Amino acid sequence: MKAVPNLYIISSVAGGGKSTIIQALLKENPEFYFSISCTTRDPRPGDEEGKTYYFLTIPEFQKKIADGEFYEWAEVHGNYYGTPKAPILDAIKEHRVALMDLDVQGAKSVKQLRPESVTIFIEPPSREIWIERLIRRGTDSKTSIEKRIENGIIELDEAPSFDYVVINDRLEDAITEVKAILCGTKS
C-alpha cells in the first residue's frame, strides 16, 4: 500500500473498532510505525507488555511526566496514558507512516503540536450497536464498561472536530476507507 508518510491519529469510543482497524493496517504494512503507549491501567486478556502497551505503576508514570518523556499524555477512564516522545519523533524524522491510537484529548494535543497530522475518528453506526459491541467484547468489568459508555457519549460529540470520520458499520469497509485516507485518495 502506498501511503503518504505522515502522522495519522486514530481515535474512537471504546469498542468502536479502532484497535482492530489498526491491527489490520499493521499486518498488511509492517513498515508502518505504531506508537506503543505507556499506561497505568491493568493489562487485559490479549495485552502484551511492549506490544500493546508498556504497563507502568502510577509513580513510574508520574516520573516520566516529570522527566518530560511523553510527547503527550492524558487521563482516560481514570488511568494515565502517554506517548513516549523519542520513538515518535524518530519516526517523524524518518518520514515514516506513523499511526497513533489516542483518545480525543491526545488527538487534539498532537494536532496542535503538528497541524499537518491527520486525525481520524472511527464512529460506531449507532449508539445501540456500539453499546452492544462494547458489552460483547467481554474485556472490561461492569464498572469499566459504564465509565467507557459515559466517556464515549462525550467523545462522540467531538467527532466533527476530526479531519475524517469513518463509520464502522462493516469492518472491511471501514478498513478500506481508512486505507484511502492514508493513501491520500479520500476527499
Residue positions forming the annotated binding site for ATP: 12-19
Closest CA to 39 of 22, 52, 56, 59: 56
**In whole angstroms, how large is the CA radius of gyration of the chain?**
16
Q: Which is nearer to ligand 5GP, 77 or 96 (CB)?
A: 77
What is the arrangement of strands in the sheet containing 79-84, beginning at the earlier edge strand? 53-55, 37-39, 79-84, 70-76
Contact status, residue 51 vs residue 36, Cβ threshold 8 Å: yes
DSSP strand pairing (70-76 vs 79-84):
antiparallel
According to the binding rule CB under 6 A, does residue 102 interact with ligand 5GP? yes
According to the binding rule CB under 6 A, does residue 168 interact with ligand 5GP? no
Instruction: Please give the residues from 81 up to 100 whose contact with ligand 5GP meets the rule CB under 6 A.
Output: 81-83
One residue of 9, 37, 117, 131 binding ligand 5GP per CB under 6 A: 37
According to the binding rule CB under 6 A, does residue 123 interact with ligand 5GP? no
| Total of residues contacting ligand 5GP (CB under 6 A) | 16
Q: Greatest CA separation found in the chain? A: 44
> Which residues make up the interface to ligand 5GP (CB under 6 A)?
11, 14, 37, 41, 72, 74, 76-77, 81-83, 101-103, 105-106
